[in-house]
Structure 1
Amino acid sequence: MRHPIRRAKTYYNNMMLQTKFTITHLLITTIPMLVMFLFFYGKLYNMVLAYTVRSEQTASAMTIPQIDLLIDTILTAQKDLEGHPYYRKLFHSRDYRTADPLTDSADAIDFCRLAEKTIDGEYITDIRIYMDLPNSQPIFYKKDTRRIFRPMSEARGAYWHGIFQGNRSYSSLFCPEFYLSPIEVKESGDMAFITKASIPYNEDLRTCYIAIYYSKAPFTSLLKNNLSRDTSVAYIINDRDSTVATSNHGLAGIYHFSYGKVRDYFMSSDNFIMKKILGEDVYAGFYHIQKTNWFMVAVIPTKSIIQKSVLIVIGFFFIYLICIITAFLIATKLSHSITNRISSVILQMSRVRSGPPTPLPDSVYHDEIGGLIDTYNYMTRAMNQLIAEQNKAAEDLRLAEFHTLQAQINPHFLYNTMDMINWLAKQGRTDEVSEAIVDLSRFYKLTLSRKETLSTIADELEHANIYVRLQNMRYHQVIDLVNDMPDYMMDCTIPKLTFQPVVENAILHGLLEKIPKGGTIVITGWLEENAAVILISDDGVGIPEDKLSGLLSGKGTSKTGTNIAVFNTHRRLQILYGPEYGLTYNSVPGKGTEVELRVRTAVIP
């Protein structure tokens, strides 16, 4: 047995170097990939299935809030119309017996202008009010009102009108396209939200319908974007088992779930579940759309997942073939590089004069050249390790000081806030306690939501707003916070908890020391070359000159209170950006204080 092994070893050692490199690299490339393929092949389908379902769940969870936002836009438009004086006078007043006196009123014209302004032409496409009044009414042909107010005869042929007539309990209705008449779809829009109202006329109540027409295109676009493949489908149905919108009409008909089943499935599970439709297994997810009687259904046929698994296997083989060809080319190139190895070592060593040493690729062979490369690489790694350890020690020291300073601020704010909540609780003001806890929870959620130590100016402004709301609960709404920050600065980065200590100091040592207590804090900012400048000003009692000089130097600053928080904030900015950045205080006793925060300009991508 030893002789065949010895002969094979001798035969291999006698091969040309190019042949050795080719065989070695092909084996190194082929064997691990082949083992990996055999190991994962049996689990491939389950992996693709889990990934696909998880992707659809994530996409659906992101789609539903956007659909809710579209619905809120319609409901907001309806509330804006209902809030107009003319609307209230027309549909809620019982002080007149005929609608004629209102048709020429300035309120009617202003109401029509509000309706026209609400129509954006892209989503909200039209607004009409159908009134069961004689067609001779001036409101139907006057130039300023005929665009909005229409006779009931124009609505009687629509399916939605029949629904209202058949069920008197309906007060509002979200209408898909086929609920509308062809004329409505052509002239007004392909979907509508219709509410029912009544108007007194000749000692009688006449029915009116307020119709807000809107486009189905945003819903269709959201449903299509919700899908990761063409073989899946997403659609919306209402309680009359009608399809409101869909990403694919054909697939929505094939994979249709009745409204009753969708509602039952939604109540029983909030994840994708496997169901069988027409003998085919599918994964389906069900989501309720708030403020409507709609459900969104997302369906993934299992056959599409199988097809994807097959495509992955085919792709794997193509990648495998490319790797083999690449390995062959690399082996061929390496055979021609032997004579260049010594020159490479000399060139690499000469570069140490102008920068840190860079290691060479490890040598496969243990000859003299290989020993030289190994020795050089060992020396290079040792030197680079020492450099890296020195740099890391300096960076760790800088970050340690930064985090220590920041940790001194967070407990400070928490202590003050919890003290205020305790004070409210002792007074039995439970609603305000709940509001304070919600604000405090939101504050720390924003603060701890990222691992990074930086935030945006927009988030810092929200921190400050939360803090002021909490203080106003305690001091009876005597503090006004005015945000005058330009929109283009909202995404600039800034260390977390930068604004709040300054605002806290302004309140406790500025506004609350006035008689009577209270005042205004204004936050604004601007951009300069390589710097963002934020100005926080108040109209409090100001800071005496002797205290102002030691506020940012740390001299005479106690280890507790807002002074140490301000000093720490100043130190954090200097540690992060340099000594030319940080806080600058300007104060006039009796008139107020201005605090200028200067940081390096940056925007979170």
Structure 2
Amino acid sequence: MNHFFSKVRQNYGDMKLASKFTLILMITVTVPVIMMACFFYGKLYDMVVSYTIRQEQDISAKTAPIVEDLVQQVIDAHDRITDQDFFQTLFHQPVNSPFRMFENTEEIQEFQEYTKSLISSGKISGLQIYMDFPTSVRLFQDELTRDYFSPMSKAKGTYWYGIFQGTSVSSLFCPSFYLGDREKKSYGDMAYITSTTFYFQGHAYRAYIAAYTSSDNFTDLLKDNLTVDGSVSYIINDRNAIVASSDQSQSGIYLLDYDSIEDSFMSSNNFIERTILDTTVYAGFYNIKQPGWFMVTVLPAGPLITQSNMIMVQYILMYLAFLVLALILAHYMSRSITNRISSVIHQMSKVRKGTLSPMESPTYHDEIGDLIDTYNYMNYMTRKMDQLMSEQAKAAEELRLAEFHSLQAQINPHFLYNTMDMINWLAQQGRTAEVSSAVQSLSRFYKLTLSRKQSISTIAQETEHATIYLEIQNMRYHNSIEFVSDIPDELMEYQIPKLTLQPLIENAVLHGILEKDDKAGTIVLTGWLEDSSIVLLISDDGVGISPDKLSSILSGEGSSSSGGTNIAVYNTHRRLQILYGTDYGLTYSNNPGGGTEVEIHIPAIRNTTC
């Protein structure tokens, strides 16, 4: 422990003055804030829950009356239609014929116009009156009534029709799944339906009046009722059916039983904590009196925890912003004290970079002033040393370039020698046409090579050189060498030293393919980008390289089986390493399928001069 405190004191003593001032300020500002954050973090979740529930209570208390009002609008529209004179005549006055009502067309016209006005105003989205008449009855065919009257057969098969048939209810507010597809498609996906009786030819018959509306009105209200992501609000009826929901999937997960909701509503007017599917939630209930519905709002604990964490993150970010401001202020104040010392340190640190420059003569001749005078005296000697180092670096660079050009010069005669030997052989055979073609190809090859003074070419140009070389060789060996170039177009304009591919392909021809019994084979040239490097792969199906020679092929010491040397391969490898460093160059390996592979590693540098 003593050793630890001793080391801390030593490190503090070695700190710069500016760092000491900054450290003290950070400790002074940070420790109290961290203690306060730890103290309040445990209470933060409860505060967020209380605040969020209070918000939801306020919003839900305003939303529930609006839902009731929407329901009441549909009921009122239904009641106003049933108050029409035509409706009263039809259902409440015994008639012997359904056609007698059409004697007073004014009542029918008024019924149609009033119903249209309710639909166009948005009070309802549609109206259907289902009656147990034959379909030939004029109600279903007359232009004034056919849009609003349908035979009872259209209602049979719906869920709401089954409820009316199986119970004694006289009115029903139907959610979407109570209705048939025809109703939802043509009129609306919610409906207020009442049952009534009419008399025809001395007999009583059942009829249903359905005023339709859209559930979107309720859904939009429920969505606006939410303030927390991940929460859900839905309306449930006394048959445990969801009437409308802000999110159908979420409401299915957090569905509560109607009876338990009613019990909870009677016992508390606040949000209550429940556990649903091992998830803690906070649920609030609001009674929609007219249809006997409940509006349920469910707040899962997860989003509330996330919200509390976000508040803590915001607090931390605000604190960090103030901390940065305090650090800047502390740094400025400390620099005003240590500015003269820092200027000397800054100037002296340039010695490491070799760019030391003299300082202005000090105004004050205290200890710092004497230090500046001493520094200026040393500056002269440092500049002399810098000059000597620059001259040495320049000489080393010139030596490196001289070695590169020397190695490159060894390759050009090597290729020319082998090519002229081939042309001589053709001439001895008396194949003058092929000699002419070979000389033209050789001339074109050297024209491309010598027309550019730079030592750097492009991959496209090097590929062309290799192609011309193989054309010349195929003249000699009866087109026994197949060359496949498969380099992506996007690599063609990258830089590569001249005469990099040709010597390696020549080596593959002479010491690989031509040493086979049939003296025929294939050379494949491919390439790809690998991080910030380019890899070119030359593979052949020749005789391969023995393991003992494989290890020495890049050293310049080995020799081929035909008596030749590896000077071209060695020179190419050396040139690449002199230009780009030891991480680049050639890598030889035996192809598992027979033959040899050589990888050329060069940096990915785009050509900007060609």
TM-score, with structure 2 as normaliser: 0.50
TM-score using structure 1 length = 0.50
Structure with the greater alpha carbon radius of gyration? 2
